[in-house]
Structure 1
């Protein structure tokens, strides 16, 4: 009786698997890679999975890069990295609508999976789509819309999936990889370099580079499946879904480099005039150190009060320090307090340290900050050595 039951179960399992995998043959699994857009949330491109039923015509796209704008305390959660992203599904036509509207190129890589692997991918996606599974804690470098897809195929294929490095791999840091995409958007580039710390100046491995959709697309093109019959490429066919003419990058005079050097020139002029006229013009310093103090406050919050791993050890704090706001208070007081002069020396040393950190490669700062660092060094030096002049000034309110 037991032997008969085993035979029935084995027969049922064989028949079920045969039907299941036969149905899986009608599905086509593809990786979709979308070119970068002009907004900060789209500037690095996007990845998604297309599942096409070639018999019924059902054409779905699974997308790990969506989040709820209407979530309570959205801005706070986004800043603190407590906002969950989620897997969603839509039709292929609806997915393409946004990219057609914004004229962003879309490419497709059709994967050479066997029926069992195809079925496991579809099952994995359906399980992940359940309400209790669809949300995940987003991490830009290590857990995003691209890495989720890579990890999915690594889970399904295991050791059968073999990645191959490019013929001439480049040593690049995470910051350098980001710069490739934000360089045409200089204000975004500056903001990212201000917000992210020295941890992103580490070298990225070829696998780690796959957090960027373009690099994952290239990695998929080089990958192979082994141990499943003859070794074969992971990608059996590639095509362009949407293609638009290249849009020329439009430069603007209003960019960080022009603005920062203009600020530096202004402070050089007022320092020269102040030296000649024996005036300090601390009103300009109040504006400068207020801005730097607010920037420092943001850097401090991102470092110590959020869960972002990439905002830690941010040495922009050396020159943009929250306590600069206290310096502003001290500079504007009619009665000069003794600690102001000591703090000026402290700020001068901190700014010098930032330059040393930059030279030694401990953190790469945005190039447009060179004139600002020079201004901080210049003004703290000037104010420190003319403290007595400041103390004796009669027209301090008009300086």
Structure 2
């Protein structure tokens, strides 16, 4: 009798275990990596998690990169670091159709998870998708669509996930250099990013920190291993290309800051030479120049003080684009010049020189196109300082 009970119990346990195994094996879980698009918000690529039910055919993609363009005060919230992204779920076909429409390549890495790990990851994603959990405070460098995907896998696997960074190419890159890789040919966007973000971007990113960019998540997954639940195995079981489009040839475009700022420098050099010959100050150009720099300085100061984005702090672009330049532009239009204006011009000259020093010493890397503007700033502050009281002002 006892023997029959033992056999029956073993048969029941084996049956339950077999059903659990079958349930887990019906899932295939993959990392999807999408190439960059032509818009600034899509220029860094994208990551998603695909969950395919091999039994029912249900095929969905979990997407942590969803945001609402129509949200109230969208621009202010984004600039202030107060914009929430959220996890969304779409069908695989719909997800791929969007990237097919925009001619963006998509690659898939099927993950080599065991049965329990698959179930744990699905439960993790389903829990994240609950209405009270799906929104999160977006941080471009440390909490975005790519890092959320990586962290989901890391949370489920724990210490069993080993990033094999020893085989990675030993190339140290700063956060700014990593961004430049993606937006180098989007010159105005690249300039805007460099103006908005400060010196914290100029430290080298660790291999884990590089994974704020989807292409580095893809590379890290290809190197990673799973250990401790049996024989060591690669995290990625197999890879395939879903959509393959030829990458567009990069170009700066006809209108870019590199040549435009050099034209500005040549114009101001000519105005300075002509003014010196005729003993005149063509301050109308200075009003426009310092006014624009002052407005840029006001925006950078607002980001430094009011934004919750850590990367906007300690932005030494403010040495040359100082908010006080806006006051100088207004004062230059007045008939009478106060004595403090000369002191301010000397202060502005010293600050511009300091910006060059900061750049040379590597304390902050400025956008390369800014060099002619810095030369103009040094030239005009020096020229106005010595001649403001002597030469005739012409607006």
Aligned to 1:351: 352
**Partner residue in 1 for 2:214:** 213
Per the normalisation by structure 2, the TM-score is 0.95
- Residue 4 of structure 1 is matched in structure 2 by none
Whole-Å separation in 2 of the counterparts to 1:389 and 1:318: 28
Specify the SS of the correspondent of 2:231: coil
Return closer, same or farther for 1:11/1:139 CA change in 2, 3 Å cut-off.
Answer: farther
Runs (4+) of structure 1 exceeding 6 A deviation are 10-17
Residue of structure 2 in register with 1:236 after alignment:
237
Pair 1:171 & 2:172 matched: yes
Checking the alignment, whether the CA contact within 8 Å between 1:21 and 1:119 is kept in structure 2 is: no
**Any residues of structure 2 matched to 1:136-151 within 5 Å, and which?**
136-151=136-151
Q: How does 1:288-303 map to 2 (within 5 A)?
A: 288-303=289-304
| Shift, 1:362, TM fit | 0.3
Q: Distance in 1 between matches of 2:336 and 2:49?
A: 67
Q: Deviations over 1:277-300 (max 9, x none)?
A: 000100000000010001111111
| Residue in 1 that maps onto 2:183 | 182
CA distance in 1, matches of 2:13, 2:324: 70
Q: Who is 1:278 aligned against?
A: 279
Give, in whole Å, the separation in 2 of the partners of 1:292 and 1:279.
23
SS at match of 1:228: coil
Q: How does 1:260-275 map to 2 (within 5 A)?
A: 260-275=261-276
Gaps of 5+ in 1: 1-9
Shift of 1:246: 2.8
Deviates more, 1:335-344 or 1:127-136: 335-344
- In 2, the alpha carbon distance for the partners of 1:146 and 1:197 equals 23
Cα deviations by residue, 1:319-370 (Å, 9 ceiling, x for unpaired): 0011111101111101111111111001001100000100110000001000
Q: C-alpha separation between the residues in 2 aligned to 1:143 and 1:16? A: 40
**Cα distance in 2 for residues equivalent to 1:17 and 1:346:** 77
Is contact 1:174–1:204 with CA below 8 Å preserved after alignment? yes
Distance 1:351 1:67 in 2: 39
Distance, in Å, in 1 between the alignment partners of 2:65 and 2:351 is 40
Q: What is the match of residue 3 of structure 2?
A: none
How far residue 247 of structure 1 moved from its aligned partner, in angstroms, is 2.1
Aligned to 1:198: 199
Closer, same or farther: CA 348–122 of 1 in aligned 2, 3 Å? same
- Look up the match of 1:81: 81
Change over 3 Å in CA distance of 1:222–1:372 after alignment to 2: same
| Aligned-residue RMSD, C-alpha | 1.6
Q: Partner of 1:387 in structure 2?
A: 388
Match of 2:335 in 1: 334
Q: SS of 2:56's equivalent?
A: coil
Q: Secondary structure at the match of 1:389?
A: coil
Deviation at 1:231, TM superposition (A): 0.6
Cα contact 1:33–1:214 (8 A) shared by 2: yes
Q: Which residue of 2 aligns with 1:36?
A: 36
